[in-house]
Structure 1
């Protein structure tokens, strides 16, 4: 584990209760993506929510009839809202068998993975999802990477990596995914939501 990853994990451990309170309600763009999966997958489909934090999106997807397991590196984030069925794990080495899930959901989490290690994470996503299975991936759009202070805990910092669609599409293709669509929106940062399918 790199220093970037360990420091970011420690930050999330420290801010877990505050984070869980602040982000309990999903933005409409995220709820719309969850609704889109309802049209793509049968009820009971298995989804891995990777970088799940306190499990808000895990619950969002479960409410739509899916069987969802959340994975996150921060133990305190996993405990923050006492959501059952969450597992501590590194997205670069997921404790899942090959083709174990029907879809992968990774929203605002891969952006913390140092750029040289992104192919490793994408390779894990491809390994654990069945052929034809969808991937929902949300990242910060832009250039560069670096440390950012937490707005409500400015003494703490997180590592952020920004991505552009074209190079990310190429990385996904190398991992075994075909990009099927994308959307953009802006809040305190510019967001890129990429939809892909396992080849």
Structure 2
């Protein structure tokens, strides 16, 4: 593991409880994306929430009738909210059987992966998805890679990697995905929300 990932993991272990409280309520975009998945996948579809943090999105996916499991590198995050059915894992080497999933959900987590490792992660997403499976992911939009301090605990920092839709779409295509749609959203940063199918 790179120092960037190890330090970001350690930061999440420390800030986990406060993070879980701050992001407990579902954002409008989360509900909209889950609505979309509910329209294209049957009840009981198998979904992995990769980079699930405290498991808030995992719970929402289950409430919609999906068989959702959560995976995150930070044990502090996984244990902060008492979520069941979650496991510690590195998204570059997922403990998931090949072709066993109907969808991968990865919200604001891939942005912590160093750019050189992104193709490995996308290949893992493709490996665990069945043919035609859904990928829903959100990324920070922009250029470069940078350390950012945590706003509510400034002694801690996280590594962020920014992406452009053109280059990321090309990486998805190389990994075996076709981009179906994407949208943008602005908060304290610019976001890309991307939907893709496993070829």
TM-score, reference length from structure 2? 0.99
Could you say which residue in structure 2 is the equivalent of 1:73?
Answer: 73
Deviations 1:11-32 (A, max 9, x none): 0000000000000112101110
Structure 1: 4+ residue segments shifted above 6 A: none
Which residue number in structure 2 is paired with residue 139 of structure 1? 139
Query: How many angstroms does 1:115 deviate by?
Result: 0.4
Partner of 1:109: 109
State the secondary structure of the residue aligned to 2:58: helix
User: 1:31, 1:142 → 2: CA distance?
Assistant: 25
Please tell me the root mean square deviation across aligned C-alpha atoms, in Å.
Answer: 0.4
Q: How many angstroms apart in 2 are the aligned matches of 1:64 and 1:185? A: 24
Partner of 1:3: 3
> Which digits, 9 at most, give the CA deviation of each residue in 1:43-99, with x for residues without a partner?
000000000000000011111110000000000100000010001000000001101
Q: Distance in 2 between matches of 1:51 and 1:18?
A: 17
Provide the C-alpha distance between the structure 2 equivalents of 1:26 and 1:117, rounded to a whole number of angstroms: 29
Which segments of 5 or more consecutive residues in structure 1 lack a partner in the other structure? none
Aligned twin of 1:59? 59
Secondary structure of the residue aligned to 2:167 is: helix
Q: How do residues 46-195 of structure 1 correspond to structure 2 at under 5 angstroms?
A: 46-195=46-195
Q: Distance between the aligned counterparts of 2:91 and 2:128, measured in 1? A: 11
**Number of aligned residues:** 199
For residue 39 of structure 1, what is the aligned residue in structure 2? Answer: 39
Give the match for residue 28 of structure 2.
28
